[in-house]
Structure formats: structure tokens, C-alpha cells
Structure 1
Amino acid sequence: MKQQLLVLLLALSFLFSFKGVGVKDAITGKKNVNPPVFLNVVYQGNDDIYKNNPLKPDEFYSPVLQGCYPDPAITKKGDDYFMVCSSFAMFPGVPIFHSKDLVNWTDLGGVLNKVSEFNPHDTGISQGVYAPGITYNPHNDTFYMIVTAFSGGLGNIIVKTKDPMKGWGNPIKLGFNGIDPCIFFDDNGKGYIVHNDAPDKGKELYQGHRVIKVWEYDLEKDQVIPGTDKIIVDGGVDLSKKPIWIEAPHLYKKDGHYYLMCAEGGTGGNHSEVIFISDSPKGPFKPALNNPILTQRYFPQNRKDKVDWAGHADLVLGPDNKYYGVFLGIRPNDKDRVNTGRETFMLPVDWSGTFPVFENGLVPLEPKIKMPKGVTENKTGKDGFFPNGNFTFTENFTSDKLDYRWIGLRGPRENFISLTKKGLQINPFEVNIKELKPTSTLFYRQMHNTFSFAATLDYKPESEKDLAGITCLQNEQFNYVFGITKKGKDTYILLERTEKGQSKTIASAKIEIKKNIRLQVKATGDSYEFSYALNGTDFKNLGESVSGDILSTNIAGGFTGALIGLYATAANDAQPL
């Protein structure tokens, strides 16, 4: 039975690989008579913090990656830096970036980009893959990316490459449980893996009690060596204080000592980064007296321009021979809600003493930092480099290669899109946004608390089952759908709110589309407005402004940030009022 299922999946994968073929087409052979075509999209970020803090020539903004790019890990080979982040059920898995200077980053797409190897088909958006590690091993000139996959029965996996610019090898399933693995190579070439795990059976002392384990790693077999596992941290810095969620371990070696850096306190308001030292990679590890070395938990909740939840960090030697740390943090909106998700921040690190300390990591974080000495130009948002701060992203869908910021959910974007002479055609699946299946939706991360996202759409629905437009989504049970559909012979535009899986149309209007329609969502902090223009310029709000509460992790839960999607479905269940 399993073999037959595999053959069927491979056959469907083959069918889906053809450009412009959707699920409905592949299975039934029917053509979408009138699929929606998106002619252009303009995303514009306009946060006050960037307007109030303009950059000087020697500065750059942190976060370096805005929007849902959490759990960063970083490595280097020569003057090439590579950084990876969590992606959960977004596709491709594990976004990867390249830089020569830690300031200007190029988006290389995703490490796990084959459905045959990573398939989050039927998982919640916060499943999939998270907490990757990336390490360059100079002894065999090989990069290793290691991650926990919560789909497809993969568990902890590792992939390798000689050149991250040219893709990665097949995932290798590793023989241990737990999460947040990281691989380390000693001066003598020996390999070790550290990861978070549960305490030994019967030894869990309280909820959130976790341990850090180390294994020796066989580089020839690409497996941990059975029987070499050892608990090197029990609970955290001080077990008597019942620390929770010691996780995200990274091993380093400096001046003959081994350092273990971990997150502690859980990914929330108590999040922090702590450091331990040992004379051996297998311990015993002793915590620094000045822990934590990075946190934002000590400050008033109502502070201005708040950055919070700082932790889950990794260190790298910068181009100026000084250490830098990347870590996750959040920038809540005016209602203290987290809509943009956990983002990738950076700080310089002072490692002139025995232990590293994040510079200004124990005071309220500032929005900008100094560029490494010797770096002379901030090119973010120019010449193909990833943008940050306030920026405008215009997509006319005229390039042969779609920007990597456009992603799929639970499956490849290529399964449902076609780049045509008119624009981006979406071939709708018989799946709506609330299902735990790949959806025919091209997503873009919300990267600002104040933003607008406008799309021009050429579309005339044929039935009540057809809908196309924009979705703002935190997950499958918490989202807005703003789209065009039919009721009888009439065409309608509607706004549907889904909370806890319960959907309600909150506004609708009968419209007549003579040419194209322009749809827009505009957010000012927690307030979102949905509007449309039948002539391309004069926007009319559909209903009143609505709360972005359901687009926050505070309300919706989970680990991701809000996504904005170009959405089409042949299984619409949203009905006009």
C-alpha cells in the first residue's frame, strides 16, 4: 500500500511540475476557464521608527531580516557569510541568505526545495521545519545544515553541500530525538552534535524542564555515534530556580576553551541567551556568572519602540575581526500584538574577556547599529540586496525569475502559478485557505506594522465556488479573505473574518468589473482597512476598519508572523451578505 501511495504521489508531483497546471487540472484534466491574473503588486512599509531614526553613512538597521524570519543561524567560509532561518510549513523550507559583509544580504531561496524530500502537505502552518543550524567544516570544505522537521516522519535531518549557491544534497535522517540541533567541528576535525531534549525518563522535575545533549558525529556515515550521547546541561543555568526551555544550543571553540551558548526562558517575554564554558566539548559545562548575556525581559512593558523576546542566537566572526551575533526578537504593534512575527536581529559582540557579551544587548534595543569597520556602503534594497527599514517593493511579474520573497504554503508556488504576458496567473486549487492542504496562494511576509499592499487583478468569477483576491493570514484558523466571487448572476466583493476556525462575512458589495480591479489592504498598527478601486485609482473601503488581532500570535498562537497572499480558490465557501 505504501509503495502504491508513493507511486501516486510521484505521478502527481510530475504532473504538478508543469508550469501553469493546478491540482484540479492535474486530477480531472479540466482547464480553468477563467483563472485570475495578477498584473502587479506594490508593498509599501512605513513604520515611524525608521522615519524617526534615519541612517548615518556608517549605520544599518536591525532587524536585518524583517517579518517572519526567526531562529537565525550563521556561518562563514572566507569572506562569505551564510545565514538560515526557520520557515515552518512555508515552502521552500529553511530560507538561506548570503553576505560578504553582514550588512548587505542576498536571498538565495530555500534549502529544502523538493517536495520529494520535504513535504509539509497536511500540517499546520507552525509545523514543518524550525530551528536550523548551519556550519562550515574547513576539514572537508563542506557546509552542513541541520534542522528538525515536524512533517513526513523526518525528525532531525542534515543536508550537505560544497557550495550553498548551487543547492544542497538529499536530507539524511539522524538517529536521535529532541529539537534544535547544531553541528560543531573541532580543530582536529572531529564532529559533535548538540540539541535540546527531554530529561531522562522519570527525571522531569517541572513543566518546561529540558536538557542539552551532545553526541559524537561520524563524518563518514553522517550519523551520530550510538552510545556517545551525554547530558551537558540539565535545566539551564541554575536548576534550583527551575529554568524553562533551555534550547537552541551552539558550540564554539576559542582560546582553547569550549563554549556552549543556548536560549533559556522560552520564546516569549522571558527569553534570553546564556553561555557556558568547558575544557571539553562533552563537558562538564559551567555557566558564566554574568548570565544572561542577552535579554529584553527587565524593562517596562510600555516602553517606546519596544523590541522584545530577544534570544535564540548564534555568533560569527565579522569582516572586521570582531564577533557579531544574530538572534530573534519581536516588534509589537500599538496594541502590543505580534503581527510581523519573530525577526532576525543583529548586534556586535564583545569577546575581549573570557565570555562573549552582546553589546547593548542588556539595555532596550535600538533600531540601528554601526556597520563593521571597513564596510563602506549600505546597499540594502538596492542592486538585488534584501531590503530593510521602510521600503517599497514593486512586482510587475515581468521577470523570468520570481522573487524568492514570494513563497508557497505546504507546497511549491510553482504548482499553481504561471507567468504569462499579462501577469501572474494563479490556477486555483479546489482547496480554500482554511484547509490543512497546499493552497493556491502566493504569499509575502508582513514586514512592517504600518504598511499597504495593493494588487491589480484581472478576474471574473464564474460561480460561487470561485474566488480570487487577497488574504491576510496568521494561520488556517485565523485569517481575513478579501476577494471577488459570484452570487447568482452577480459579482460581489467581500471581506470574511475567520477566528478559531469560525468564518463570518463582515462586509460585501455588488460590483461590476469592466476591466481590472485593484485591491488594497492597509494597516496602521492594529487597524487594517480593505479597499478596492474599479478604475485603478479611486479606492473605496469595504466596510469599516477591522482589528489585526487575529493576525497576531497573541490571539492565534503558533510561531509564525502574518502573511499576505494573492489567493485563488475553486472551493470558495465565503458568501456575500
Structure 2
Amino acid sequence: MTEPSGAGIRDAATTPVIPGLFPDPSVCRVGEDYYLVNSSFEYAPGIPIWHSRDLRTWTQLGNVLTRETQFPAGVSAASRGIYAPTIRHRDGTFFVVGTNVERGGEQFVVTATDPAGPWSDPIVFEGLGGIDPDLAWDDDGSCVLTYCALDEALRPEDGSLPVIAQVRVDLDRGIRLEEPRVIWRGSGLAHPEGPHLYRRGDWWYLLTAEGGTERGHAVCVARSRAIDGPFEAAPANPIFSRRSTGFPVQNTGHADLVERPDGSWAMVYLGVRPRGFTPGFHVVGRETFLARIAWADGWPVVHTDNVLPARPDTSFTDDFSGTELHPRWVSADGTLPGPHPAGGLALGSHDLAVRVRDLRWRFEAHVDASAPVALRVRLDDQHWYEITLDGDAAEVRARIGPLAASMRSARATGDVVTLVVEAVDATHDGPDDLRFGLVDADGERWLAALDGRYLSTEVAGGFTGRVLSLRALGATPARVVSARYLPLGDE
């Protein structure tokens, strides 16, 4: 692989093309257009979908799962919900296949003729216990669903799980045509998962993620003359990994390939940007990165020397003037946000959240002080910091596992108050400090600064990153006049 050189270059090796909590990327191309989806876990609407013309600059079209008939409310815990979708296109139809782990790891398929939606209700394939499904079509037009199997019935003689399994399906009738079979046990690293199949020339290539989605994460590949194997491993496996290096992007894996119109190939993959003292803390989740693919002796070779355009504009100001929310807004408890009256947002007890996109940032919520309201930086329900406003009382609170505490309180003045949180440089050994304050009739002032490491995946576990959520504290709806997010500095 080729490494970047030169100060100030915005290179794909260290800069995500889709920053923030957008993991497990899958991509397809239709003509000159590329479409990409990500895992969404407990957040609803589910499965963000993006569009690009160059693989480097992406615009969110919307979300795939926008109705309760597609994604029933009631996710049981953080880092559950919707896992690792794959997007494919065939004969004018887009297909997204994914896993709902709330339903025993069921594999489902939704379809659309327009990637912006609406998407169909799911076709559910029961009895395929596992995650990370992929769709591919054999030369005879038959469809195969390949996935990371966790079903005891498919456990090999050596006792290893997971394995990569495959089953032929009829998408028109929504049925399996056979019992699933094991096609690959991995190259020898832990946790073979995230399979994707591609036809190139006379070969079928099977791309997998191995090593676990932490620091040992890697991309591996095998190939076969037939879609169902037998597969032979690439001699250079893993073909891509940052494990055991000091590179600023780690946990690289769970990749997908796409062929460009000119016949060249590219790869999207996930990575994290850990910071702070050992073990390093990543806080915005697993992000989407880009690489180019060369081919040598019939095998893909990964290069990370792409030069990127100016940083994505992650800033936004939302005055909630329309009745429909921008697709960036999600619910943190699996409850689909509904329409609202124009001119301000009425909050209930369900969290309304937006993903953090940058390493340094500022978020402001301009709120009506007549009803109790909270602004929270959330990793999960057991790891969060927040600032609340209840009448004229502002308070900063924290929860880290079973420990909860009030950090500081202050008096607020005025009918409308701006609650503020910033991620700034760390004063200890963590990735950052999160400082909370407010702007009221008396001006701007800071109440508390808290160590950001406790809102990291390395502390809390799981598969997600930080979101910024707003909610009413009581039965009375709270009104948010506007919200603003700004990155701080260039990354």
C-alpha cells in the first residue's frame, strides 16, 4: 500500500470521506452515480443512504428504513438494531439487504426504484441466524445471499464460529430455495464476517472482514471459479490492515469494492481515529474511508494515496421551519421521529439526536426556557454528559456506567436560553474535553469541562459513537427554536 506524504495534504489514508458515526460502508454504482449505505444500529430512521459522483464527496439522500413496518420501534439496547447493510442494483431496482438483530438476527431485503425512496417493506428470510448479509446474482440469474453465520447448526467440526455461509433465495417470492451451507471459514484470523461477492473476469472474489472490528481489524480476500466455491485465499492476506502500527487511523476493515466507469476499482472501508494516551480513544464512531484498488496477478491490491477535495461541510443550522426533519436527525431509542409544526421543534421524552461529525466541534441549542429540556452528549444510555435547563436552573450532569453525578449548576436568565457544548483539546490524557455552558440575558459562560475518554468506545464498548441529543425532561413538551453545529478547526 502507498502511504501519504507531505504536510497539509487532505489524503484518503487519514481523512474520512464520510466522517462521523457511519460504519460498515457498502457501495454500488449505476452509470456515473454511486450510492452508499451504512449501519445504523439502534438509531431510527435506519440505514443512511448517500450519493456521490466521484466517491470523494457524498450527500445524504435520506434513510432507507423510515416506517415502523420496516423497523419496528423498541430497540432493546445500544449497539443493537440494524447491522451492516449491503446495497446492490440490478435491472432498474435497488436492493438493500441487512440484519435486524432485534429479531434473532433475521436477514431482510428492501427494494426501491429510486434510492432516495420510498423503500419497500422488508422481505424477511427467517432461520438464517447471523449478520452482515450480501446479495449477488450468478451467471444464470439466480440470487445468492451470503452472510456471516452464527447458527450452531452450521458450526464446523473444529467448533469455530462465525463462518461465511450462503443460500440461494427467490426475491420475488421471498423464500429460501435451499438450506444454507458453509462456503468459507476465513483466512485464519478471528471473526470472519462482512462478506461481499464480485464477478471479475472468470473469477468470483469473496471479500471479508477478519480480526474483529477493534485494532486487529483487516480486509481479506479469496476467489473461486464458481459463486459457491471452493475458494482459495489470496497469498498476501490480509490485503489491508493497520494493526500493530502507529498510523493515526486504526480498526480498518469491513470493506466493499466498486468498479468505476473507466474499469478501475475502488474500495470503501471503515476506520477510527483514536486519540489520547494508551489505549487511544475513538469517540465519533467508525467512519467511512476510501482507497483505490490495483490488480496484480489476479488479486486486489489496496492503495490509500487518493487526494481528497476540501473537507466535507459538516456544519449546519436548523431552524425547523419545515414540518419534516432533515435526514440527519434520528431518534436515539429506535422511535421514529414524526412531523412537527413549522417554526420551532416540540420535543417529547424521546431523544432526538444528530451524529457528531468532527473531532473538535461546537453545538448550540436555542431553547424556550418555559419547559424543562436537556442537551446530551450520548454514547449510550450508561455513558453520557448533559446540560439541563429547568426554569431558571441550569445544571451539568454526568453518567459513567453505574455512577451518576451533578457536576455544577448555575442560574439562567431570560425567556430563551442557548445551551452550548464544545469538544476542545484535552487537558488530561483523553481524546478531548467536553465543556458545557449557556448563553442567556447575562451573556455566555461555561459551567463545567469533563474528560472525553469516558464517552469513548474503548470505555463503554459497543459499535457506535457520540450523538448530540435533545429531549424534554418532563411531561410538558419542550420547544427548540433552532440548533447549530460547527466544526472547530481543520482536521
TM tier relative to shorter chain: 0.7 to 0.9
Q: Distance in 2 between matches of 1:453 and 1:395?
A: 11
Q: Which residue of 2 aligns with 1:151?
A: 102
Q: Please tell me whether residue 470 in structure 1 is matched to residue 375 in structure 2.
A: yes
Contact 1:134 1:145 in 2 (8 A): yes
Q: Which residue of 2 aligns with 1:310?
A: 252
Deviations 1:54-110 (A, max 9, x none): 559xx9984111111000111122222111100001011111111222223221221
Q: Please tell me whether residue 406 in structure 1 is matched to residue 329 in structure 2.
A: yes
Q: Match of 2:340, SS?
A: strand
* Greater relative contact order (Cα < 8 A, sep 6+): 1
Higher strand share: 2
Q: Distance in 2 between matches of 1:398 and 1:353?
A: 57
Q: Please tell me whether residue 82 in structure 1 is matched to residue 19 in structure 2.
A: no
Q: Distance in 2 between matches of 1:81 and 1:201?
A: 35
Q: Match of 1:96, SS?
A: strand
Deviations 1:349-393 (A, max 9, x none): 112540111114xxxxx7xx236xxxxxx5875xxxxx3xxx532
Q: Please tell me whether residue 187 in structure 1 is matched to residue 131 in structure 2.
A: no
Q: Please tell me whether residue 567 in structure 1 is matched to residue 471 in structure 2.
A: yes
Deviations 1:538-557 (A, max 9, x none): 321113x2111221111111
Q: Distance in 2 between matches of 1:117 and 1:351?
A: 39
Q: Which residue of 2 aligns with 1:41?
A: none
Q: Match of 2:329, SS?
A: coil
Structure 1 residue 571, shift from structure 2 partner:
6.5
Contact 2:332 2:469 in 1 (8 A): no
Higher helix share: 1
Q: Which residue of 2 aligns with 1:332?
A: 274
Q: Please tell me whether residue 97 in structure 1 is matched to residue 1 in structure 2.
A: no
Q: Please tell me whether residue 424 in structure 1 is matched to residue 362 in structure 2.
A: no
Q: Distance in 2 between matches of 1:202 and 1:291?
A: 24
Q: Which residue of 1 aligns with 2:196?
A: 250
Q: Which residue of 1 aligns with 2:457?
A: 553
Q: Which residue of 1 aligns with 2:74?
A: 121
Q: Which residue of 2 aligns with 1:394?
A: 317
Deviations 1:307-333 (A, max 9, x none): 000000000012443111011100113
Does 175-184 or 95-104 show the bigger shift? Answer: 95-104
Name stretches of at least 5 consecutive residues in structure 1 with no aligned partner. Answer: 1-48, 361-365, 372-377, 382-386, 430-438, 462-466, 573-577
Q: How many residues align?
A: 462
Q: Equivalent residues in 2 for 1:433-448 (5 A)?
A: 439=350, 441-448=351-358
Name stretches of at least 5 consecutive residues in structure 2 with no aligned partner. Answer: 425-430, 477-491
Q: Which residue of 2 aligns with 1:16?
A: none
Match of 1:162 among 100, 103, 113: 113
Contact 2:396 2:409 in 1 (8 A): yes
Match of 1:344 among 288, 311, 315: 288
Measured on the aligned residues, the alpha-carbon RMSD in Å equals 2.6
Q: Equivalent residues in 2 for 1:139-538 (5 A)?
A: 141-152=92-103, 155-175=106-126, 176-198=128-150, 200=153, 203=156, 205=158, 209-227=161-179, 229-234=180-185, 236-238=186-188, 243-300=189-246, 303=247, 306-335=248-277, 336-360=280-304, 369-370=306-307, 381=312, 387=313, 391-399=314-322, 401-412=324-335, 414-415=337-338, 418-421=340-343, 423-426=344-347, 428-429=348-349, 439=350, 441-461=351-371, 467-485=372-390, 491-509=392-410, 511-524=411-424, 525-535=431-441, 538=443
Structure 1 residue 158, shift from structure 2 partner:
0.8
Q: Distance in 2 between matches of 1:150 and 1:127?
A: 6
TM-score w.r.t. the length of structure 2 is 0.88
Identity of aligned residues (%): 30
CA spacing shift, 1:470–1:237, aligned 2, 3 Å: same
CA spacing shift, 1:120–1:352, aligned 2, 3 Å: farther
Contact 2:104 2:129 in 1 (8 A): no
Q: Match of 1:187, SS?
A: coil
Q: Distance in 2 between matches of 1:447 and 1:64?
A: 11
Q: Distance in 2 between matches of 1:153 and 1:233?
A: 23
Q: Which protein has the larger Cα radius of gyration, Structure 1 or Structure 2?
A: 1
Q: Match of 2:213, SS?
A: coil
**What amino acid does structure 2 have at the position aligned with 1:552?**
S
Q: Distance in 1 between matches of 2:131 and 2:412?
A: 53
CA spacing shift, 1:357–1:86, aligned 2, 3 Å: same
Deviations 1:276-308 (A, max 9, x none): 0111111110001011111100313xx5xx100
TM-score w.r.t. the length of structure 1 is 0.75
